[in-house]
Every structure is written in C-alpha cells, then in structure tokens.
Chains A and B, each alone.
Chain A
C-alpha cells in the first residue's frame, strides 16, 4: 500500500531535549516536505527536499533541521525544542515538486508534539 509513515504519532518532551520525527514513503517520490499545523493558521511548510541531498527552507524553518540521505526518508530534527514548537506536524511527499503542477501530495498521519 502506498503510504507516508510518520513516527511517533504523539510525543511530549521538555524544552531543550533534542528530538527527531521520522518520515518514510514507499512511492519512490522525489519531493518531500514537512508542514506544521496550528489552529487558525492552516498548514505551513517548514522544509522541503527536491531529491536526495537537496533540501531547502520553507516558510517557517526556524528551530528545525532536516536531512535527506535516502530517497525514502526525510526526518525532522528539533535540536533544542521550545514550547512555541508545540504543534501538529505532517510529512508529505509527491512525485515531483512542480512538474506537473497538479501533482498531488500524500500526507502522513501526523505527529502531535507537545513541548513543556
């Protein structure tokens, strides 16, 4: 089954304790990205990757890091989490970034992160 898998689904952590949220897709997609969802703001892109070893900042990258060493995996790293990073996080993948423009994105189930 084609899917995007995120882990963990729920995470409570303390300020400053490094954490990683994993994301894996089995569709051989080139393009992967991370979004955060906050009430009343919709989803906003954090980082994206157009292919292996190619990553770039999205609209809200501060406080996050990513890596893309393999095509299928795109982990999100919070080196020193802070309470303002409490949010619902989604990983997404699509075949291409922009060609064709109507390529749909497939989303993971989400990771609800609470930083206390």
Chain B
C-alpha cells in the first residue's frame, strides 16, 4: 500500500535562507509523487510532480524535489525562502488501480521570518 510521511509538522526559516521539507514514501511499485502547496484560505496548487523521466524535478516558484529510490525520499527544497512561501505543503502519492486517489501526508507548515 502506498503512503507518505512528512517528517516535520512545522518548519521555520528566515527569509533568504534555504528551505528543506522532508517526505518519505512507501510504495510497492514505482510511485507517482507530487508536492502541493496551500496558502491560507486558498485551494491547493500543484508545485511539482515526479514523472520518472528525471530524478530531480523542478517546479514553480523556484522549488525542486529530488526522488531518491534508495532512501524512499522525495524532499522539497528551495535555495532562498521568500515571505510569500509561507504556507502549508503536502507531499502526495497517487494510489494505483481504479481508485486512483491521492494519498496526502499530514502537511508541513512553513513559516518565513523577515
């Protein structure tokens, strides 16, 4: 069965410093992995998705994630945090078969200090 574990419920960084949001996954086959972002009182927006074409995936707003099969990880990074990055981030794996639903991690709330 597929699952994802986000290792930090809350991460706080200073503006201009790097961001690392950690995610481990569990899957019996090659997973479909995504990162979504949710800004306060907003819906969910896709940041990036793993397509198996490349292990380093670039997304919007300067975010990227690296798929590491040996470590079953899909950590999200950004070299330099901006105040507008403050939001909740979800690591997501797609369940296989006809149900095909997205299985969400519990979320990591990112705070950015000036």
Contact residues of A with B, CB < 8 Å? Answer: 4, 31, 33, 35, 40-45, 48, 50, 56, 58-59, 90, 92, 96-98, 101-102, 104-105, 107-110
Contact residues of B with A, CB < 8 Å? Answer: 9, 32, 34, 36, 42-46, 49-52, 90, 94, 96-102, 104-107
Q: Is the beta-carbon distance between B43 and A108 smaller than 8 angstroms?
A: yes
Q: Is the beta-carbon distance between A104 and B46 smaller than 8 angstroms?
A: yes
A40-B104 Cα distance, complex, nearest whole Å: 11
B100 to chain A, nearest CB (A): 3
Main secondary structure of the interface of B (DSSP, over half): loop
B67 to chain A, nearest CB (A): 12
In the complex with contacts A102-B50, A104-B34, A58-B104 CB distance below 8 A? no
Residues of chain A contacted by B90 (CB below 8 angstroms): 42-43
A50 to chain B, nearest CB (A): 6
21 example contacts (A-B, Cβ-Cβ < 8 A) are as follows A33-B101, A42-B90, A43-B90, A43-B104, A44-B104, A45-B101, A48-B99, A48-B100, A56-B98, A59-B101, A90-B44, A97-B99, A98-B96, A98-B97, A102-B94, A104-B46, A105-B46, A107-B43, A107-B45, A109-B43, A110-B42
Residues of chain B contacted by A40 (CB below 8 angstroms): 9, 106
Top 10 A-B residue pairs of the complex, sorted by shortest distance between their CB atoms: A97-B100, A42-B104, A98-B100, A101-B32, A107-B44, A45-B101, A43-B104, A109-B43, A107-B43, A102-B32
